[in-house]
Amino acid sequence: MSARFIDWIWHIKGSLTLAPGQSSDDAFERLRPLFREVGTTHERKGDTLVFRKKDQAAQDKMSVFDGGTLRIESGSGASVLHYHLTSRVLLLCFLAPLLFLGFAQMNLVLAKFDKPLAEELEKKNADKAEVPMHSIDKFLGAPAPEKKDEAKDKSKDKEKDKKKRLPTPGYVFAGIFAALYVVGRILEQRLVRSLFRKNLMEPQEPLLARA
């Protein structure tokens, strides 16, 4: 199977038409601030810019991406910016549901080794003991504590351990990450497109103001 059938999972591709008459030099100059972030290196060769990111800052507007290529294609009409970006976090988010499903399955397997609860309840049949309640709590109207039942307490402990080994949290987090992936794949594609568009279209500051 060719990688291009699955690479949409962590690759984001798109294109933007530049303003009429906008040169590739001007376009890359406007995009350059995006690649001056901490942990980002970039290299421009003609109409192509290649960048890499490592340990990118949380507030880096392109922090989701680890690398990519931006190419400007000049045609008879307006030039077009083609971008191809890769994101490891999108790939990991796509795979995360499998990990959490794995944890859920592991708990199902471990649950088979648990002793049956009913047997333990039969073994112990201690009398219920009164639990003291302080007079202040009686005066303030707090509910009386339940009577202490050794056998029930023991079974509750076992029940608590069993609950900790339920597959449910694994399923819930698998669902959460599946939803997060869908949201992230759509959101980040839109955000990066609008980021490029904003940088390419907005009027540049006068040189004096920048200095």
Partner 1 sequence: MNGVRVGKRMIGTQAPVIVGWENIPRVEGGPIKQFVFTWFQPTVLFALIAFWYYAPNSIAKASTAIGIGIGFKVLLLALEWFFPRHESWRLTWKELTTDLFFVGLGYTILRTVETYIGDEVWIESIQHYFDADKFTWFLGMPLLLQAFLISFIFDFGQYWMHRGMHNWYPLWLPHSVHHYITQLNINKGAVGNPVELFLIGLGIGGFFDFLPRAALLAGAIGMAVGTYQHINVRFNSPRWWRFLFHTTEHHSVHHSQDFEASRSNYTNTYIFIDRIFGTCIDGEAELLGMEGGRRMSLGEQMTFPFTEGWKSLKERFARPVAVPAE
Write out the residues near partner 1 by the rule CB under 8 A: 38-39, 54-59, 63-64, 89, 92-93, 96, 100, 103-104, 106-107, 110, 131-132, 134, 136-137, 140-143, 145-146, 148, 153, 157, 160-161, 164-165, 169-170, 172-173, 176-177, 180, 183-184, 187-188
Nearer to partner 1, 78 or 176 (CB): 176
Least spacing, CB of residue 93 vs partner 1, in Å: 5
Report the C-alpha gap between 84 and 8 in whole angstroms.
11
Q: Which residues of 32-43 are buried (b: 16+ CB within 10 A; e: fewer)?
A: eebbebeebebe
Nearer to partner 1, 78 or 172 (CB): 172
Pick from 23, 132, 125: nearest CA to 74: 23
Least spacing, CB of residue 138 vs partner 1, in Å: 10
Angle, CA 85 vertex, CA 52 and CA 5 arms, to 5°: 130
Report the C-alpha gap between 195 and 178 in whole angstroms.
25
Report the C-alpha gap between 20 and 18 in whole angstroms.
6
16's tokens: 């933007």
Nearer to partner 1, 122 or 137 (CB): 137
Nearer to partner 1, 55 or 205 (CB): 55
Least spacing, CB of residue 189 vs partner 1, in Å: 11
Report the C-alpha gap between 95 and 4 in whole angstroms.
17
C-alpha of 14 from chain center: 22
Least spacing, CB of residue 178 vs partner 1, in Å: 12
Nearer to partner 1, 82 or 165 (CB): 165
Least spacing, CB of residue 158 vs partner 1, in Å: 10
